[in-house]
Structure 1
Amino acid sequence: MAEPSWIIHITLLSIILLSHPPIQTAQTLNTTTYTFGPFYRDSPDFDKFRFLGDAGGMSAGALQITQDSRNSAEYLVNKSGRVMFTERFRLYNPKKTRPTTTNTSTMLVASFNTTFDINIYRTTGTVPGEGIAFIIAPDLSKPPLASYGGYLGLTNSTTDGDPSNQIIAIELDTGKQSYDPVRGDHVGLDINSVVSNATASLADFNIEIAPVNATNHTVWINYDGISRRLFVYMAKQFAPKPTKPLLVADVDLSKHVNQYSHFGFAASTGNDYELNCVLGWNLTVEVLPEERGLSGWRLSVVVVASAVVVGVVVGVGFMLLKKRRLGREDMQYILGKLKSLPGMPREFRFVELKRATNNFDGKNKLGEGGFGIVYKGVLEKEKVEVAVKKFSREKLKGKDDFLAELTIINRLRHKHLVRLVGWCHKNGMLLLVYDFMPNGSLDAHLYGEGDPLPWSRRYTVLADVASALTYLHDEYDQRVLHRDLKASNILLDSHFNARLGDFGLARALDNEKTSYMEAEGCFAGTPGYIAPECFHTQKATCESDVFGFGAVILEVVCGRRPYDVFPGGFKYLADWVWTLYREGRILEAVDKKLEGEYSAEDAERLLLLGLACSHPIAAERPKTQAIAQIIYRSVPPPAVPRIKPAFIWPMVGSLSIDSGSYCSGTTTTRRSSSSNCVWPTIEGQAGLGEISMV
């Protein structure tokens, strides 16, 4: 027999008190993540940045840290600019400590990770100068006067070296100054001065920041607030993060920057000039806790009182628990709740959600899937609209689904993922509460009776989803597979920005392992969005998520469902589009409702990308980061074979660990280039999932 809820809550209280005493010890801290790019003046992110000095604003999909006129050198020389994120972050707390491995304590300093893509462009026949820097600054002030040239928009001849600057920068320098210890392009750690505290030559890593042929680069900066150590990595865009950092330096933020600071970029030109462009930016910062305001004898009283309360509660709780053993489901519930502490979203009372949805009235039903029904609700006190997901499975499996979705999405932070507001567990009823998306799902706009979704909005929706998928696969601390990418799971907010939702099938994947939780022993998903290998492996991978997104891309451009009846007897949209591509008529696939409105170049770009993502061989599909850059127009569309390749079954045991692919129960470190088994697709007859064995 399961225990009454009050016993469970008493036990939880005792555990929480024991785990979180009022004395400051180690704490599990939350993080906040921001993802920006591409950058355009009509972007919703425009107001989140402050453009200072000679910054050129947002244009051509990039943050222009200095002016971007390519036609006149007059406007490019001797410039300095900054682009700062207006959000302010608390980077250390003198009143908070955490333990170290030596049983001592140290001031609480925030860790952060940032990744950004840059293009430093030299105009034809010129020498590039001067450089670009990622900076931490105390405020949103303009660059100092005369901070052009080698001062990188950070300091000038008067302020250089002044501790009151409270600036730390990671410079990527394209010009050699007299005080630079290395020749050529180099990376440096600057503290209140452009005379770097630590430097490394990029020539040693075969990197040229601004080569003659314009090249995009990705920079990773990781700062560990415990060890006070900073790591810098750099590689050509789309290349994996190097195992060896360019620069490793010890730096204590608490000794050099303002407690509350801003992140951003600075750059400069001199007599030599370049275009300093940031194409995309991801930032994750540890959120430091607030003080509780207890000290001295009051703290002692609280500690003693807490100990007494804990002792009583634990004693009573365990006596009752001994008499009545908790059922397995309730124990899982407790463990699931504790696993999410701290940072747990709001716990709603069942009566609140019942009232919000008018007793789950069918008139408020927003949608239904294999895992539950979603209702629109209005929270009575806040007068805020929400979406309430009521899980349909009442027993153990339903609770596992609930806990899986809760623990995954609660830790995800991205502007293009639907935000989890809270949860409820009452009398076996499991509910999750999300932000309400007033413009509904993407498929409703593609196939509904209202005005068709315009081309520009369709393109932006795909860019938004690509950004979210990149975060799930490559930027979150665990690799997360969505496993059910489809148009009905892409929701649109009040501004028609896309949010990827419905994580009922999502699973977090350990980056070092190659297994994940199955859904009832078979592959779950929606016909038309399921990759062909999944019918055989019964497993999901990053590549199968990419396949699903490829189906969405084609669906958005063509205005047709992935699984339907198409000219020529095709059952799958990808097969029909591939035939048009082979015949040189690929633009005939574009939704007829968009006639005369769409960009032919962009439509072909997306159709080719959709086909590349729909490639029958998982290893041939593009990675999510490459997909995003193709949509952002940073790189050309992929090369796609004119004739759709056959689905090739890899050799038993073949597996690419890097990509997270699955091909049987055993794994090796390399994917085989050959196979013993081939299941070809019969042109015009069989589509993905209709595979005949040779």
Structure 2
Amino acid sequence: MDAEFKDINGNHVGVDLNSMVSAKVFDLGFINVDLKSGDTVNAWIEFDGSTTVLTVWVSYSNLKPKDPILTMNLDADRYFNDFMYVGFSGSTQGSTETHSVEWWSFSSFFPSSSAGAAAPPPPAVTLMNPGANSAGSSSSLSPPPSIAPSVAQKESKSSSCHNGLCKENLGAVAGVVTAGAFVLALFAGALIWVYSKKFKRVKKLDTLGSEIIKMPKQFSYKELKAATKCFNANRIIGHGAFGTVYKGVMPENGEIVAVKRCSHSSQGKNEFLSELSIIGTLRHRNLVRLQGWCHEKGEILLVYDLMPNGSLDKALFEARMPLPWSHRRKILLGVASALAYLHQECENQVIHRDIKTSNIMLDEGFNARLGDFGLARQTEHDKSPDATVAAGTMGYLAPEYLLTGKATEKTDVFSYGAVVLEVASGRRPIEKDATGAGKGGVSSNLVEWVWTLHREGRLLLAADPRLENEFDEAEMRRVLMVGLACSNSDPLARPSMRSVVQMLVGDAEVPIVPTTKPNTGLSTSHSQLLLSLQDSVSDIDGIITISTSTSENSFSGIDIV
């Protein structure tokens, strides 16, 4: 299914006429045919030039059904040329599915001008699956059609030649037969190769599923498909790092859940399996709870509790009423508690790598639930991280992570600091052409702006004006100072998340934050590049991946997805 081309779902037949947007479609669910069932699906397509009617039948059976699924008038002159090819093509958008042509036949004929003409000739070319039943077996096939009516008459008078061509040029016939055999051999070899790759892939995925996917419950594809109404676009409630999230209503008990569907890219599947292996072992009140999973028909689906109050970014920027200060403090404390658990209390340390307000969900009591572990990585405690391709969302990424590609708990702390300042100020980490009215000046970078206010002794001006001063000034100052401490350019100066929890509850003092923002330690060229990149980002919710180099003077590439 591709919403860009207005597909109704992922299980349909469409007629595309010089366009990827179908002129007419039919939902195969109405005839109980599932293209991802793994069973052979047969299709018959007929076009009658005299009536200009195109007719399509689809069935699991080798016998053509009585009723077609699709009929439409088609002005063939607009689309057909005098000479054309008939062929097959397929695309899975990176899915693990394999498209195979088991058998096919094609026929083309012109109606006879005589009134007593015989029925149209049988198919001209036929390639059959050896496993087909009698309806498609080679024993029931008629011989190929003659080249022309006059040649057909000669055929009946000759026992050694099927048509006049073989009489005139035996060498041409031998050449055609040899070429045809060669093509069939190549086709058979390709089919064997495709199926061997398919079976190896399925075996690999099954092994992976048995070893990694050990979740609370395994759902069937059928019930999740029904819960999301065939993954209807109207049920989409969000987009993760490498997947789409749908609202689902379970058919058995009516429970409302969130179903996350893999994006079908090879990278997306790797991230989903990573998310499965990590989130399935975690248990914390401030993490989104995974109910179960599904791995069928080339799909990987995760089922989570649905958070009735949506994501934190929508509560901050799209709600009609401003989020009260008491809720904001509770949310920040909950996220800090979840990160302290991931960094220091799990058997293996978990680095989230994509902490942002859109990945923080809110339950019915406005308690924070951290989710979307598609970019998360597990490492042993106190082990030096490996350099990878930097991934995350611009505005939340630590400067040293952009340079080295090494994700640590301190890069998560920096992202949390950006979230703290965002929640307290009601401003996004990067705002293009911000007016800055009443906020002490214009700046596109939230961290830089708050640090400027801190240097000028006007830190409380960073508070969200929509709160209308309905907050405790000491609490607001403490929260903003925690945000600045976490956003320190020097990773060694950032506190641990356990210390942050203690600061927020008042059990520990916030460390002294210098009025002048510390140097990033990057070269001037690197700093200018990062600032210009941040200023150029208009969609701050986009995922950014940056290929980096550890050499002093080189960035190997930047790619915003």
Provide the residue aligned with 2:286 in structure 1: 416
Give 2:513's match in structure 1, choosing from 640, 660, 683: 640
- Decide whether aligned partners of structure 1 residues 472 and 328 sit closer, same or farther in structure 2, where only a CA change above 3 A counts: farther
State the match for 1:62 in structure 2: none
Tell me whether 1:563 sits opposite 2:434 in the alignment: no
Q: TM-score, normalised by structure 1?
A: 0.46
Match of 2:296 in 1: 426
Q: Which amino acid aligns with 1:338?
A: S
Q: Return the letter of the residue paired with 2:409.
A: C
Residues 451 and 484 in structure 2, CA contact (< 8 A), matched pair in contact too: yes
The equivalent residue for 2:91 is none
What does residue 338 of structure 1 align with? Answer: 210
Contact 1:647–1:678 (CA under 8 A) maintained in structure 2: no
In structure 2, distance between residues paired with 1:556 and 1:383: 34
Give the superposed CA RMSD: 3.0
**Structure 1 residues 333, 635: closer, same or farther in 2, change over 3 A?**
same
Contact 1:648 1:678 in 2 (8 A): no
Aligned residue number for residue 527 of structure 1: 394
Query: Could you report, residue by residue, the CA deviation over 1:388-415 in whole angstroms, capped at 9, with x for unpaired residues?
Result: 0011124x43322221110100000101
* Conserved 8 A contact 1:420-1:434: yes
- Matched-pair contact (CA < 8 Å) for 1:507–1:517: no
Residues of 1 paired with 2:464 and 2:291: CA distance?
36
Letter in 1 for 2:345: E
In the other structure, the counterpart of 1:486 is 356
Partner of 1:619: 492
Secondary structure of 2:222's aligned partner: helix
1:362 aligns with 2:233: yes
Structure 1 residues not aligned, in runs of 5+: 7-322, 650-676
The structure number with the bigger radius of gyration is 2
Provide closer, same or farther for how the CA distance between residues 517 and 510 of structure 1 changes in structure 2, counting only shifts above 3 A. farther
Change (3 A) 1:427 1:347: same
- The worse-fitting range, judged by mean Cα deviation, of 597-606 and 359-368 is 359-368
1:54-65 aligned within 5 A: none
The structural deviation recorded for 1:449 is 3.5
Native 8 Å contact 2:394 2:534 kept in 1? no
Q: 1:576 corresponds to which residue?
A: 449
Deviation at 1:532, TM superposition (A): 0.7
Aligned partners of 2:241 and 2:372 also within 8 Å: no
CA distance in 2, matches of 1:575, 1:680: 17
Q: Distance in 2 between matches of 1:382 and 1:336?
A: 30
Distance in 2 (CA, whole Å) between partners of 1:579 and 1:556 is: 18
Q: Could you tell me which residue of structure 2 aligns to residue 136 of structure 1?
A: none
The alignment status of 1:389 with 2:260, answered yes or no, reads yes
Cα shift at 1:637: 1.8
1:453 match: secondary structure: coil
Question: Contact 2:360/2:370 (CA < 8 Å) preserved in 1?
Answer: yes
Q: Quick check: 1:371–1:504 contact (8 Å CA) kept in 2?
A: yes
- Which letter does structure 2 place at the counterpart of 1:562? P
Structure 2 residue matching 1:456: 3-state secondary structure = helix
- Which of the residues 463, 481, 500 maps onto 1:590? 463
Show CA shifts across 1:80-112 (max 9, x none).
Answer: xxxxxxxxxxxxxxxxxxxxxxxxxxxxxxxxx
State the shift of 1:328 in Å: 4.8
How far the C-alpha of 1:345 sits from its partner, in A, is 2.4
C-alpha displacement at 1:516, in angstroms? 4.9
Distance in 2, matches of 1:554 and 1:441, equals: 17
Q: Decide which of 375, 385, 405 is 1:505's aligned counterpart.
A: 375
Matches within 5 A, 1:35-54: none
Instruction: Rate the CA distance shift 1:525–1:464 in 2: closer, same or farther, 3 A.
Output: same
Aligned length: 343
- Does the CA contact (< 8 Å) of 1:681 and 1:688 recur in 2? no
Are the aligned partners of 2:421 and 2:446 in contact in 1 as well (CA < 8 Å)?
yes
Q: Tell me how far 1:324 sits from its aligned partner.
A: 6.0
Secondary structure in structure 1 of the residue aligned to 2:517 = coil
3-state SS, counterpart of residue 515 of structure 1: coil
Does residue 463 (structure 1) correspond to residue 333 (structure 2)? The answer is yes
- What amino acid sits opposite 2:373 in the alignment? F
Q: Given the alignment of the two structures, is residue 536 of structure 1 paired with residue 536 of structure 2, yes or no?
A: no
Q: Secondary structure at the match of 1:347?
A: coil
Which residue of 1 is the match for residue 243 of structure 2? Answer: 372
Amino acid at match of 2:414: F
Q: In 2, Cα distance between the equivalents of 1:562 and 1:611?
A: 13
Shift of 1:633: 1.1
Quick check: 1:496 aligned with 2:354?
Answer: no
Equivalent residues of 2:387, 2:405 under 8 A apart: no
**Other-structure match for 1:442:** 312
Q: Of the two structures, which has the highest relative contact order with CA contacts closer than 8 Å and spacing of 6 or more? A: 1
Q: After superposition, where does 1:249-398 map in structure 2 within 5 Å?
A: 327-340=199-212, 344-394=215-265, 396-398=266-268
| Correspondence 1:88-99 to 2 at 5 A | none
Asked if the contact 1:336–1:407 (Cα under 8 Å) also holds between the matched residues in 2, the reply is no
Cα distance in 2 for residues equivalent to 1:345 and 1:491: 21
1:405 corresponds to which of 265, 268, 275: 275
Match of 1:515 among 379, 385, 400: 385
Alpha-carbon contact 1:420-1:433 (below 8 Å) kept: yes
> Shift of the alpha carbon at 1:327?
4.2
After TM superposition, the structure 1 stretch with the greater mean CA deviation from structure 2, 344-353 or 572-581, is 344-353
What letter is aligned with 1:455? W
| Residues 363, 5 of structure 1: alpha-carbon distance in 2 compared, 3 angstrom cutoff | closer
Rate the CA distance shift 1:350–1:615 in 2: closer, same or farther, 3 A.
Answer: same
Report the structure, 1 or 2, having the larger strand content: 1
Residue of structure 2 equivalent to 1:472? 342
* Paired amino acid for 1:576: W
Whether 1:609 and 2:493 are equivalent positions in the alignment is no
Whether contact under 8 Å (1:473, 1:481) holds in the other structure is yes
Contact 2:385 2:408 in 1 (8 A): no
* Rounded Cα–Cα distance in structure 2 between residues aligned with 1:508 and 1:370: 17
Instruction: Say which SS state the counterpart of residue 423 (structure 1) adopts.
Output: strand
| Change beyond 3 A, Cα 1:325–1:594 | closer
Superposed CA deviations along residues 591-629 of structure 1, whole A, max 9, x for unmatched, are: 001123111001100111111111111111111111111
Give the aligned partner of residue 130 of structure 1: none
Contact residue 455 and residue 594 of structure 1 kept, 8 A = yes
Aligned partners of 1:529 and 1:547 also within 8 Å: yes
Structure 2 CA distance for aligned equivalents of residues 337 and 469 of structure 1 = 28
Change (3 A) 1:516 1:346: farther
Query: For 1:419 and 1:517, how far apart are their aligned partners in 2?
Result: 30
**AA in 2 matched with 1:504:** G
Separation (CA, whole Å) in 2 of partners of 1:458 and 1:474: 24
Residues of 1 paired with 2:224 and 2:324: CA distance? 36
C-alpha displacement at 1:547, in angstroms? 0.6
Q: 2-side partners of 1:475 and 1:622: how far apart? A: 16
Q: Is the alpha carbon distance of 1:517 and 1:575 closer, same or farther for their aligned partners in structure 2, counting shifts above 3 Å?
A: closer
Instruction: Give the TM-score of the pair, scaled to structure 2.
Output: 0.57
TM-fit CA distance, 1:331 = 3.8
Q: Specify the alignment match of 1:548 in structure 2.
A: 415
Shift of 1:647: 0.6
